Amino acid sequence: MTAAQSQALPNPMQRALARLGLPVDEAAAMAGPLGVTPKETIHACGTLKLHHYKPLADSVYRVPVLVVTSLVNQPYILDLVPGQSMVEFLLRQGFDVYLIEWGRPRREHKDLTLEDHVLRLLPGCVDAVLRDSGEKELSIIGYCVGGLLSVLYAALTPSSAKAAPLKNLVCMAAPINADGLVSLKAWMGEGFDEEALLEQYGNVPADWVQNTLRALRPFGKLAGAANLLNQIDNEDTVRSNLRMGKWESDNIPFPGGVFRQMVNDFLRGNQLVKGTWQVGGRRVELSKIRQPLLHLLAQDDHITPYASASDLVRLAGSRDKSEHVVKGGHVGLVAGRGAQTRMWPALDAWLAPRSV
C-alpha cells in the first residue's frame, strides 16, 4: 500500500495498520491462525471436547494438568501463538497438559446447569485424563468462570476419599464473592428479568455476553485503541494486542440453565461465600477444599476485581494455600507481557514441585 493510499483510509488505526503492512481488518491482522499448539482430542461429550497436547519437553512431570476454561469465551486465549501461549509454556516446562473446550451451546442445550458441568462433564474429563495418562491424580488450572467451576468441583470432591483424583488446584481470576462484582450486581439485581432473556433466546447470546463485559469498562476499547496507537511502531506489541482483541470479541453463548443459577444463586444471593449454595442437592463448602491451592490474580482486573476473588484463599480449608497478584488486567493475566514475565513463571515455580 502506498503512503497516499494509507492516508486515504478513514481512521488513524487503519492508517497505522497499513503503515505496518498489516491488513486493515483487525481479524485478518492476526499473525497466522490462533490456538495451533499440536494436540489431539481424546474425549468428547455433546459440544465438549477434551484436548491432549503433544509434549514439548524431554521429560514430563508425573502429575498431568487439566485446564478448565471459561464457559463464555473461546479457550485459545491460553494458546494464542508460539511465544504467546500459556499452554506452550507449560509444555516446555515439562507439564502434561489437557484442556477442556466447552464448545458453542445450541438451543437444545439451554437447560444445561451447573450440575451438568460440575458433577457430570468435568468429572468425565477428569476420568478421561486419568485413563489417558495412566495416573491416579491430576492438577486442575481454572480460568475465570472455569476457575469457579473448578472451585465447585474441588469443594464437592472430598479430598479424604481413598481415590481422590485432585492433587492441586490453581485458579486464575476466579470470582468467589459476588459482592465484589459491584457493576454486575447493579445491572442484574432484582429488576433484571433473566427469564425474559432466556425465554426469547434459550441461551444468553454471544453478543449480549460481549456487550455486558464491555459495559464493565465502557471506554476500555477506546482506551485500548489509543494505547495501541501510541505503540504503533512496535510491531510485536501491535500484533499481540490484536490477537487479544480478537479473542475478547469472540464470545460464545452462555448456557441458559447455568446463567439462571449464576444470576440468582451466585450474583444476587452470594451463596458461595455464605456457605449456602447447593449444587445437585449438596452444599458447597469452601472449607472442604483441602488440596494445595494457588490463586493468581490481576491487579487491574475489571471483570474479576480483587474484592470478588480474594476470599478463596481465606475460606479454603487447605493448609498449603497462597495468593499471587500481578500487574495487569483480566486478559493480560494469562496472555499479556506480564503473563510471560511474571504470571507463567510464578505458576511454574508453584506447580512444579507439587507435580512429582
Q: Are residues 107 and 232 in the same domain?
A: yes
In a shared domain, residues 25 and 154? no
- Amino acid 334: pLDDT: 95
> Residue 108 belongs to what domain range?
34-354
Catalytic residue annotation: 144, 301, 330
Decide: helix, strand or coil at residue 214: helix
140 and 15 share one domain: no
DSSP label of 251: B
Give the global pTM.
Answer: 0.87
CA nearest to 86, candidates 104, 65, 102, 105: 65
Looking at residue 5, its pLDDT comes to 46
Residue 164: predicted pLDDT: 76
**16 in the same domain as 56:** no
**Partners of residue 49 on adjacent β-strands:** 44, 101
Number of domains in the chain: 2
State whether 223 and 271 are in the same domain: yes
* 111 and 17 in a common domain: no
Residue 215 has a pLDDT of 74
Q: Crossing angle, helix 235-248 and helix 220-230, to 10 degrees?
A: 160
pLDDT of the residue at 218: 56
Instruction: Report mean pLDDT in 10-residue bins for the chain, 356 residues.
Output: 45 52 49 84 98 98 98 94 96 98 97 98 98 98 98 88 83 97 85 94 93 68 54 65 75 96 96 97 97 97 96 98 95 92 97 98
- What's residue 230's pLDDT? 58
| Domain identity same for 347 and 284 | yes
If asked whether residues 7 and 91 sit together in one domain, one would say no
Same domain assignment for residues 77 and 205: yes
Which DSSP category does 25 fall into?
Answer: S
DSSP 147-165: HHHHHHHHHHS-TTSTT--
CA pair distance 75, 346, nearest whole angstrom: 21
